[in-house]
Amino acid sequence: MPQSVKVALLGCGTVGSEVVRLLHEQEHDLTARIGAPLELVGVAVRRLGRARELPIDPGLFTTDALGLVARDDVDIVVEVVGGIEPARTWLLEALHAGKSVVTANKALLGEDGATLHKAAADCGADLYYEASVAGAIPLLRPLRESLHGDRITRVTGIVNGTTNFILSSMDETGAGYAEALEEATALGYAEADPTADVEGFDAAAKAAILASMAFHSRVTSADVYREGITEVTAADVASAKAMGSTIKLLCIASKANGAVSVRVHPAMIPRTHPLAGVSDAFNAVFVEAEAAGQLMFYGRGAGGAPTASAVLGDVVAVARNRLAGVRSASESAYADLPVSPIGDVLTRYHISLDVSDKAGVLAAVAGVFAKHGVSIATVNQSGRGNQAVLVIVTHAAPDRALAATVAELRALDIVRAVASVLRVEGE
Amino acid sequence: MPQSVKVALLGCGTVGSEVVRLLHEQEHDLTARIGAPLELVGVAVRRLGRARELPIDPGLFTTDALGLVARDDVDIVVEVVGGIEPARTWLLEALHAGKSVVTANKALLGEDGATLHKAAADCGADLYYEASVAGAIPLLRPLRESLHGDRITRVTGIVNGTTNFILSSMDETGAGYAEALEEATALGYAEADPTADVEGFDAAAKAAILASMAFHSRVTSADVYREGITEVTAADVASAKAMGSTIKLLCIASKANGAVSVRVHPAMIPRTHPLAGVSDAFNAVFVEAEAAGQLMFYGRGAGGAPTASAVLGDVVAVARNRLAGVRSASESAYADLPVSPIGDVLTRYHISLDVSDKAGVLAAVAGVFAKHGVSIATVNQSGRGNQAVLVIVTHAAPDRALAATVAELRALDIVRAVASVLRVEGE
């Protein structure tokens, strides 16, 4: 049997501890699958001396991550610290030293994946990051490898467990956003500062990674149009229900006419859509490809054990590559496709208006849509005394035209309030 | 750029034609992803001279498949003919000659995968068969590779589109089996002789492949306990509905206490289960792993283009391996775990009895369950004149004990009929 493949671990929190545990518990299976044992040779942590009930020699802990990744006896660097710096510096150092890298760092990959990919290619090292999107769900490898003979046209994902928990809870109980957030926080699904989740930053980084992978192009988090869920109201959720739909925070990446569009925003989807049944903190990614048709990948998006499972799958792959003396050759054919601004993206709106109930209102409202070239799919009017509620669902139109339509509706005298505006997807 | 990678195609029906079309249409992308062009050097067909509107030189067609696979200039053999022979002979010949093999042949893999795997290992050749289970869904590669650092405990799949179409239609319309089969045949979802689908043979072959992959053990179609859907009645479907469940033909592979159990049969699953929403001819496979938790893979299980997409994904992988001078090293660590007989498998039954409505009936029925050590979870009795319907759902018990219970119930005087017996899964 060949000598061991040596692993350095950066970070030993929730995910890192699970990686250590799995390496230990599954030692026998891992050795059989790789053809050589994996050996943990160092664990970089912020502070030594914290109580860690882990089945490893305490002498493996170090606070010198940079020194660890450059050690001659390290073959694979596993990073589960997160954040842009110092993780980027460490991983670039590792790649430049010819180490293979496995990381769960969505923020770094989303912001600056290109630099890491270039370093990996220049140095003949592997860079794997299955755990960075949708936790345990094997997703990036199928996108990168299994669908290589096909053309992906669109990826629609629920990739943030916190917001999906909140929206599922609003849908089930009729609660408002604040109340549902409070519940999510109490149950540990939302962090004390939930901004990264509820404002869609986390989903946007994952959307950038997914789009890059699906379309073989470079997309960064900054390219992603982003709206969070903080404005979603109980009335919006009720409105969706009345239409046989539910509201999800979606990340959508699509490719048309040689350009890519990538966006994260809440949207109504019909309850018959496979993504509608994805509840609680689960994640799922719906993929449309020219030949394969519709595919969906579903599972846990976060948590120590699920994320560690994805990390270990990558570790096995890169360990095998090292033993075979090869690297995964997938990054050679990247294009730099233009990214369409949100205004150009074709989408549909669901608009709910409080209007005065008098003659000519519908004609005036319809006139605004017509002026902006937006075609109306359905109208539903219900009266309440001298007021009425108009619910309008449009056909697909450029987002710019839809936004302009809403702005003009807001300014109409007969429109007392634009009660809700939501995009409609998945039909 | 390296010289081309040469492909021989065996079979040019629905799937084969799509493979040819994709090779042609995506020539540029495939070359970029592989690092060398793919070149189709021969297509073996049963009869020359059939009109084929394909973008290739008619001179490539041959009826001599065995001669084609042994040609010195062939690197990869793609087989989309199906059936045990002559496909096995051709593929063994190809592997012995050092060619890599990509096949969609579930029957052959299910019956005799071990022989093919051994030939591939002995000759240092690749054997890929993503398209053999669940068509376009990238499934085998994630099981084989992404979850390598984890332990799969159970795989539950809807892997036959024909039967899922029939059961979905019975669920939606209340139709009986015969009527739904007729519809499926008219729409092209069922073949003129539907035996392989409706009796579960097709699903059993796929179950064997899935179990082998998930548990790194050798399981053949003959090891799979099999019941088809021909006995499922409109009353069963209505009964499931009343319980908030639906009936699906499931393939279930699980591992416990060092043994594997693999079975295909109709079962009730709750409508809240992710598999319950898989309708029409779609397929899905639900995977439970120790660390990853619950995962599901969903997509089209059949059809020319979806299957060809999976074939092409494999072709890209093996073409890259050939250029890198390596083979996928995943088959070295196979165990030969024992396969549990169905009688040992723990499952739950839903039993519907027509009984006389008189004193002592429930006590007598309950006594039969108790005698066989089967614990009752719920009982529901509804009267109809001097008759009553008893619906009993059990807790998990060995299938043998449940079967013996049902046999004894049938023999009771007070039981007029055992109206339906269905297994219950997914709770």
Per-residue model confidence as pLDDT tens digits over A236-268: 999 999 889 999 999 999 998 889 999 999 999
Q: Distance between CA atoms of B229 and B232, rounded to whole angstroms? A: 5
CB contact under 8 A, A146 and B313: yes
> Which pLDDT band, with edges at 50, 70 and 90, does B333 fall under?
low
CATH number of the A5-136+304-324 domain: 3.40.50.720
CA distance B80 to B307: 9
Identify the DSSP state of B146. I
d(CA A415, nearest CA chain B) in Å: 40
Would you call B322 helix, strand, or coil by DSSP? helix
- Distance CA(A258)–CA(A266), nearest Å, equals 26
Q: How confident is the model at residue B330 (pLDDT cuts 50, 70, 90)?
A: low
Tell me the chain A residues in contact with residue B326 when contact means C-beta distances shorter than 8 Å: 324, 326
Taking CA atoms, B86 is separated from A331, B93, B106, in Å, by 39, 11, 14
Q: Which residues of A touch B29 (CB under 8 A)?
A: 151, 333
By three-state DSSP, how is residue A6 classified?
Answer: strand
CB of B83 closer than 8 Å to CB of B105: yes
Burial of A62 (0-12, 13-18, 19+ CB in 10 A): middle
Contacts with B296 from chain A: Cβ below 8 Å: 284, 296-299
Contact A148, B38 (CB under 8 A): no
**pLDDT at position A143 over 60:** yes
* Cβ within 8 Å, pair A291-B312: yes
Mutate to test the interface with A, among B33, B76, B172, B294 (most CBs of A within 10 A): B33
pLDDT of residue A330: 52
For residue A50, how many other CB atoms are within 10 A of its CB? Answer: 9
Which candidate, A292, A296, A259, places its Cα nearest to that of A159? A296
Closest residue of chain B to A131, computed from CA coordinates: B146
- Residue B193 confidence (pLDDT): 94
C-alpha distance across the termini of chain A, in Å:
55
Least confident of A324-338, B22-36, B292-306, B310-324: A324-338
User: What distance in Å separates the CA atoms of residue B252 and residue B227, rounded to the nearest whole number?
Assistant: 12
Question: Per-residue pLDDT for B169 more than 70?
Answer: yes
Site of tokens 């109208």: A379
DSSP B374: P
Give the three-class secondary structure for A42.
strand
In this prediction, residues B313-335 reach a mean pLDDT of: 77
Looking at chain A, how many residues does it have?
Answer: 427
Closest CA of chain B from A282, distance in Å:
9
State yes or no: B393 annotated in a binding site: no
* B320 contacts A329? CB cut-off 8 A: yes
Three-state SS across A322-389?
HHHCCCCCCCCCCECCCECCHHHCEEEEEEEEEEECCCCHHHHHHHHHHHCCCCEEEEEEEEECCEEE
Compute the average pLDDT of residues B281-291. 93
* B13 among annotated binding-site residues: yes
When CB atoms are compared, the residue of B29, B137, B308 closest to A291 is B308
Instruction: List CB contacts of B348: < 8 A, sequence separation 6 or more.
Output: B377, B393, B394, B395, B396, B397, B423, B424, B425, B427
The per-residue pLDDT for B283 is 95
Q: How far apart are CA B166 and CA B158, in angstroms?
A: 13
Would you name the residues of A annotated as active-site residues? 206
pLDDT band, very low/low/confident/very high, at A140 (cuts 50, 70, 90): confident
Report whether B16 belongs to an annotated binding site.
Answer: yes
Considering the domain B5-135+304-324, what is its CATH architecture? Answer: 3-Layer(aba) Sandwich (3.40)
Do the Cβ atoms of B333 and A147 come within 8 Å?
A: no
Decide: B29 and A217 in contact? Cβ < 8 Å.
no
B145·A330 Cβ contact <8 A: no
CATH superfamily of the domain spanning A140-300: Dihydrodipicolinate Reductase; domain 2 (3.30.360.10)
- Catalogue the E-assigned strands of B305-414: 346-356, 376-384, 387-394, 397-398
Q: Do the Cβ atoms of A305 and B315 come within 8 Å?
A: no
Residue A333 clears pLDDT 60, i.e. is over it: no
> In this structure, are strands B127-128 and A397-398 parallel, antiparallel, or unpaired?
unpaired
Note the CATH number of domain B342-424: 3.30.70.260
Which residues on chain B are in Cβ contact (under 8 Å) with A303? 293
Residue B10 marked in a binding site: yes
The verdict on a CB contact (< 8 Å) between A332 and B148 is: no
Q: Which of A272, A296, A331, A336 to mutate to test the interface with B (most CBs of B within 10 A)?
A: A296
* Ranges A366-375, A386-395, B89-98: which has the least confidence: A386-395
Give the model's pLDDT for residue A323: 86
In degrees and rounded to multiples of 5, residue B249 shows phi and psi of -85, 110
8 Å CB contact between B206 and B132 = yes
pLDDT at B321: 86
β-bridge pairing A100-103 and A127-128 = parallel
Rounded Cα–Cα distance for residues A25 and A164 (Å): 32
Structure-block tokens of residue A415 = 């429109």
> Which chain B residue has the Cα nearest residue A286?
B298
Contact A149 B299 (CB under 8 A): no
At residue B365, does pLDDT exceed 80? yes
pLDDT-based confidence at B79, cuts 50/70/90? very high
The answer to whether the Cβ–Cβ distance between A151 and B26 falls below 8 Å is yes
| ipTM, interface predicted TM-score of the complex | 0.85
Q: How much is the pLDDT for B227?
A: 97
Beta sheet of B61-62, edge-to-edge order: B61-62, B38-44, B5-10, B76-79, B100-103, B127-128
Residue in B306, B315, B332 nearest the CB of A35: B332
Whether the predicted pLDDT of B105 surpasses 90:
yes
Nearest to B142 among A138, A294, A320 (CB): A138
Q: What percent of chain A has pLDDT over 70?
A: 98
Candidates A297, A311, A315, partner chain B, best to mutate (most B CBs within 10 A): A297
Which sequence positions of B are flagged as catalytic?
A: 206
Report pLDDT for A11.
Answer: 95
A391 to A249, A349, A364, B382: CA distances (angstroms): 21, 10, 14, 45
- The answer to whether B352 is a known ligand-binding residue is no
Segment A380-386 mean pLDDT = 81
Comparing CB atoms, the residue among A22, A141, A310 nearest residue B141 is: A141
The arithmetic mean of pLDDT across residues A69-95, rounded, is 96
**Angstrom distance (rounded) from CA B261 to CA B253:** 6
- What's the one-letter identity of residue B260? V
Q: Which residues pair with B267 in a beta bridge?
A: B248, B423
Q: Looking at the predicted structure, is the pLDDT value of residue B1 above 70?
A: no
Residue B282 contacts residue A273 (beta carbons within 8 Å): no
Of the listed ranges A80-94, A153-167, A316-330, B46-60, the least confidently predicted one is: A316-330
Domain ranges, ordered by start, for chain A: 5-136+304-324, 140-300, 342-424
Phi, psi angle pair for B413, to nearest 5°: -60, -40
What pLDDT does residue A263 have? 97
pLDDT tier at A384 (50, 70, 90 boundaries)?
A: confident
Tell me what pLDDT residue A179 has.
96
Q: What is the pLDDT of residue A3?
A: 86
Instruction: Give the pLDDT of residue A278.
Output: 92
DSSP, residue by residue, B230-272 = TT--HHHHHHHHHTTEEEEEEEEEEEETTEEEEEEEEEEEETT
Section B166-191 average pLDDT: 95
Q: What is the mean pLDDT of chain A?
A: 91
Count of CB contacts below 8 A, A vs B? 192
pLDDT higher than 80, residue B9: yes
pLDDT band, very low/low/confident/very high, at A141 (cuts 50, 70, 90): confident
